[in-house]
């Protein structure tokens, strides 16, 4: 009598049981599915892990003025109770769009605790008159347009740099569309210094799930050369996201964090900080690493089919609506109630008419039947922002923190679904 061990992907047994307890409680209070459950506890654990690891590497000690600062990546999990909980921890938030900035302000983040990144900010950021904001410029045109505001409102400014380590992951021969080229970055930094703007930060963002500490090390060395060429000593080195997520595999079975050591990462950053005289803080914006483990997607089996040697579970939620990351990721999958017995190759399908609407295709107990629930773990990163309404409404959402479990968003009604049209 057991859940198939290979489907746990390294999750500790106590974590598995904790999620099952939360799901049972949620279904007893809010039986509608599909249902997301988000919890603050795994986020707190990841931040504790990061900060302890960096403290052990010499950050924030009596003998070092160098500190680490973790920003909440709003785009990764734009869930209002999370923003409120994060603000109560007295931490800052990183935003990349007008909606995200408005959300941060609605949740009473002070402007000095908001970091604005992303491209083409000059198309919307002038709508706001905010003092002491932190902003990293992304292009020469953006710099020209926003420079007067930066001076007027005393922004903490920086530039995003396109390093040689950044490329389009689908077409590695091409660069991404973000940031200044090294030559542009030198010119931008010199301009900011000439204009006596409060210039404090250099920023780069490689990509998600960076596979090796050495990739970061090379990018930081390149950024240090750019700072030397511009005769600029940054106070903040902003690393964007990239630390690989735990307990998740690629569709090909690769462990994302298999070659990335968090302690090695911290030690490398402590050493690399010496390349920047005057550096006071290393900023991290690790959305996926911090929040992926904080969510679970709960779906109910509606129908069961068997054809051509494949058993198919038709569920009320799936890839198309709720978990687009399943296109390239495999996550732990739990059954509720526990099911055992002979396992057969099974496709877990959503309710839409898309053939690719398959959350997983794995061995599962043949004893699973209509009415059972499946729990897809590590659904805390990019699931809400990539959620769709493909012939269905948005899912219900529960939030769990020190105050307990509560319902924070209803499943979308037809009236809400259709009333958007004039």
SS3 44: helix
Task: Say if 415 falls within a structural domain.
Answer: no
State the residue for tokens 């504790």. 48
Task: Say if 418 falls within a structural domain.
Answer: no
- Verify that 73 and 169 share a domain, yes or no: yes
- Verify that 88 and 109 share a domain, yes or no: yes
Task: Say if 210 falls within a structural domain.
Answer: yes
- Verify that 135 and 63 share a domain, yes or no: yes
CATH number at residue 213: 3.20.20.10
Pairing type for strands 134-137 and 156-160 reads parallel
Q: What is the rounded end-to-end Cα distance, in angstroms, of the chain?
A: 55
- Verify that 213 and 233 share a domain, yes or no: yes
CA distance 310 to 331: 20
- Verify that 305 and 238 share a domain, yes or no: no
- Verify that 318 and 248 share a domain, yes or no: no
Tokens of residue 47, six digits: 């931040």
Per-residue pLDDT of the chain (422 residues; tens, 9 = 90+): 233 334 578 899 999 999 999 999 999 998 899 999 999 999 999 999 999 999 999 998 877 889 999 999 999 999 999 999 999 999 999 999 999 999 999 999 999 999 999 999 999 999 999 999 999 999 999 999 999 999 999 999 999 999 999 999 889 999 999 999 999 999 999 999 999 999 999 999 999 999 999 999 999 999 999 999 999 999 999 999 899 999 999 988 889 988 899 999 999 999 999 999 999 999 999 999 999 999 999 999 999 999 999 999 999 999 999 999 999 999 999 999 999 999 999 999 999 999 999 999 999 999 999 999 999 999 999 999 999 999 999 999 999 999 999 999 999 999 999 999 99
Number of domains in the chain: 2
**pLDDT of the residue at 7:** 59
Boundary residue ending a domain (260, 275, 291): 291
Task: Say if 416 falls within a structural domain.
Answer: no
CATH number at residue 378: 2.40.37.10
Longest alpha-carbon distance in the chain: 72
Pairing type for strands 310-315 and 281-284 reads unpaired
Q: Contact 362/272 with Cβ under 8 angstroms?
A: no
**pLDDT of the residue at 64:** 81
- Verify that 349 and 393 share a domain, yes or no: yes
pTM value is 0.95
- Verify that 262 and 117 share a domain, yes or no: yes
- Verify that 215 and 299 share a domain, yes or no: no
Task: Say if 207 falls within a structural domain.
Answer: yes
> Which domain does 211 fall in, by range?
40-291
CA distance 51 to 47: 6
Boundary residue ending a domain (276, 291, 306): 291
Q: Contact 341/367 with Cβ under 8 angstroms?
A: yes
**pLDDT of the residue at 3:** 35
Boundary residue ending a domain (291, 307, 322): 291
Task: Say if 370 falls within a structural domain.
Answer: yes
């Amino acid at each position: 009598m057991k859940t198939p061990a290979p489907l746990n992907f390294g999750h500790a047994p106590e974590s598995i049981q904790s999620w099952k307890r939360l799901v049972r409680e949620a279904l007893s209070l809010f039986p509608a599915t599909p249902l997301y459950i988000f919890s603050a506890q795994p986020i707190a654990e990841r931040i504790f892990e990061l900060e302890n690891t960096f403290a052990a590497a010499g950050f924030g000690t009596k003998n070092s003025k160098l500190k680490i600062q973790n920003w909440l990546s709003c785009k990764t999990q734009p869930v209002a109770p999370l923003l409120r909980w994060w603000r109560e921890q007295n931490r800052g938030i990183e935003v990349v769009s007008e909606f995200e900035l408005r959300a941060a302000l609605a949740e009473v983040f002070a402007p000095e605790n908001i970091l604005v990144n992303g491209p083409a900010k000059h198309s919307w950021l002038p709508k706001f008159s905010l003092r002491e904001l932190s902003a990293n410029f992304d292009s020469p045109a953006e710099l020209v347009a926003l420079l007067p505001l930066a001076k007027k409102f005393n922004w903490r400014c920086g530039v995003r740099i396109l390093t040689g380590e950044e490329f389009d992951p689908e077409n590695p021969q091409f660069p991404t569309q973000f940031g200044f080229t090294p030559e542009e970055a030198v010119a931008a930094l010199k301009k900011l210094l000439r204009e006596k703007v409060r210039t404090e930060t250099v920023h780069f963002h490689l990509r998600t799930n960076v596979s090796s500490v050495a990739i970061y090390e090379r990018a930081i060395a390149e950024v240090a050369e750019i700072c030397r060429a511009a005769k600029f000593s940054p106070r903040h080195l902003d690393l964007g996201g990239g630390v690989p997520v735990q307990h998740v595999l690629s569709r090909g079975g690769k462990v994302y964090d298999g070659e990335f050591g968090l302690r090695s990462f911290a030690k490398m950053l402590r050493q690399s900080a010496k390349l920047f005289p005057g550096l006071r803080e290393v900023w991290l914006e690790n959305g996926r690493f911090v929040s992926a483990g904080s969510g679970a997607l709960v779906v109910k089996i509606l129908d069961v089919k068997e054809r051509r040697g494949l058993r198919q579970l038709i569920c009320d939620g799936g890839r198309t609506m709720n978990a687009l990351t399943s296109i390239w990721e495999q996550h732990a999958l739990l059954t509720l109630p526990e099911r055992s017995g002979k396992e057969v190759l099974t496709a877990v399908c959503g309710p839409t008419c898309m053939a690719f609407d398959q959350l997983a295709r794995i061995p599962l107990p043949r004893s699973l039947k209509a009415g059972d629930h499946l729990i897809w773990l590590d659904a805390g990163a990019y699931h809400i922002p990539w959620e769709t309404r493909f012939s269905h409404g948005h899912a219900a959402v529960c939030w769990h923190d020190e105050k307990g479990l509560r319902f924070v968003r209803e499943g979308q009604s037809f009236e809400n679904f259709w009333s958007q049209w004039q």
